[in-house]
Structure formats: C-alpha cells, structure tokens
Amino acid sequence: MQVLTAIPVDEVKKHPDGRVDLLGMYEDIYFDRVPFTFDALSLFVDLRFEPEDQGRRHVLEFRIADEDGTLIHETTRARFEVPAGDALPRSTAQLDMAFFDVTFHRFGPHAIEIWLGDTLLRTVSLYVLPSEPPAGGG
C-alpha cells in the first residue's frame, strides 16, 4: 500500500459525480498563542493498493506529533478491507480523516504520520507559527 497524496485541509467535499473539493489546504497554521486547540482538522488521503493488499483487512494509524516526536493527539485509526480480484474495480481509494480538538502546545514543526503496522507510509509536515513576528524583528 502506498500513500499517493496526504493533504491537511479544513474540509473535504465529495460529490456524487466523483469530484472532490479540498477546502482550506494547510502547511502553515498561524495562532496568536499556544496552547491552542484547533476544533477540527481534516486530512485527505489518496491510497494505492498493491495486489498483496487485496482480500485483507488493514488498519492505518494517524499520529500527530510535535518536533520532538511527542504525540499531541490521540492516535486515530482507519479500519478497512480491500476487496479481492474483480471486486476491486480500481487500485486506489480516498480517505477523509477528521481529527477533533487538536491542541498545539508550542510553535514549530509538527507532523501527521501515517502508519501501516510498523511501517511509516508518509509524514505530512505542518508548521505552527505565531500570527505576528516577535517584537525586535526576531
């Protein structure tokens, strides 16, 4: 299994005709102060399945950590089964993961990690920055 795309966003809208709208994409998040609790953060994930993934149950784990690797939010899991053979019409699938009440305790780099068992599939960078630069030109 491969993570083709993983994008932090405000909202994912899926349409009946197959279109997907990603609203409010993030790489940098600006806060006046920390700690700050973000009400909701979504992660759009596009997966590609390999033949060995078919006919099996999978659990992806999503971990949000600060630059020291300290988890700042409970691990979120997505459990699903990949159909086997002709029951799988395509080799990709999309997930819309939602994380609620994420508290950032400090400014600096953070990451959303996507794990499959003991394998880290993708790290998505997320930078938490002050809304205004520090006094003195810092």
What does pTM read for this prediction?
A: 0.88
Residue % of the chain over a pLDDT of 90: 78
Band (pLDDT 50/70/90 cuts) for residue 137 is low
9: Cβ contacts below 8 Å, ≥ 6 apart:
22, 23, 24, 25, 26, 42, 43, 44
pLDDT for 89 beyond 60: yes
Contacts 24+ apart (CB under 8 A), 8-11: 8/41, 8/42, 8/43, 8/112, 8/124, 8/126, 9/42, 9/43, 9/44, 10/40, 10/41, 10/42, 11/42
pLDDT in tens, 45-85: 999 999 899 999 999 999 999 999 999 999 999 999 998 87
Pairwise CA distance, residues 62 & 138, whole Å:
34
Domains of the chain: 2-130 (2.60.40.2550)
